[in-house]
């Protein structure tokens, strides 16, 4: 299958493949990347591309498999880099208790007891129904 045929496949089915990728990945940028990667794979395997309607099914399957693999990769990675707190600048041996989960509203290792974790709010001296004013 000549290269111009791949361009024709992209012209015909690019939107369908993008739509499939978007349905699986639920992200515009990731869907665009996946659709592009799908057609790069089609280009790499030009000799294997079936004719006519079989080609659509074949490309659709390539896109589906690629997107499912991307989801597996994301799941294996866990959280994204943006969600991980920056701790590289902290010296070794520093207290890590702020990063550990809190129990009963107090940091781990804390010896002071807290009776309430709710913040103290100013009392309103005005009658009920009147708006609060910071006096």
Measured between alpha carbons, how far apart are the two ends of the chain, in Å? 80
pLDDT 10s digits, 50-105: 887 888 899 999 999 999 999 999 888 875 545 545 555 555 555 555 555 554 55
The reported pTM is 0.56
User: What token pair was written down for 78?
Assistant: 């866990």
User: What token pair was written down for 37?
Assistant: 């990667």
User: What token pair was written down for 31?
Assistant: 């869907």
Looking at residues 127-131, what average pLDDT do you find?
A: 53
Three-class SS state of 8? helix
Angle, CA of 112, 88 and 97, to the nearest 5°: 15
Tell me what pLDDT residue 25 has.
94
Architecture of domain 3-80: Orthogonal Bundle (1.10)
Query: What percent of the chain stands above pLDDT 90?
Result: 39
Q: How many CB atoms lie within 10 A of CB 17?
A: 27
Tell me what pLDDT residue 29 has.
93
Least confident of 7-16, 73-82, 125-134: 125-134
Residue with tokens 């009920």: 128
Strands (E) across the chain are located at none
Domain segments of the chain: what residues? 3-80
């Amino acid at each position: 299958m000549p290269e111009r045929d791949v361009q024709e496949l992209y012209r015909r089915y690019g939107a369908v493949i993008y739509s499939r990728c978007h349905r699986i990945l639920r992200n515009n940028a990731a869907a665009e990347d996946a659709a592009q990667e799908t057609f790069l794979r089609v280009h790499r395997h030009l000799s294997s591309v079936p004719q006519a309607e079989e080609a659509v099914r074949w490309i659709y399957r390539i896109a589906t498999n690629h997107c499912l693999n991307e989801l597996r990769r994301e799941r294996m990675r866990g959280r994204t880099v943006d969600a991980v707190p920056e701790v590289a600048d902290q010296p070794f041996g520093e207290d890590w208790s702020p990063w550990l989960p809190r129990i009963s509203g107090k940091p781990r290792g804390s010896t002071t007891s807290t009776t309430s974790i709710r913040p103290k709010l100013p009392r309103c001296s005005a009658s009920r129904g009147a708006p609060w004013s910071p006096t």
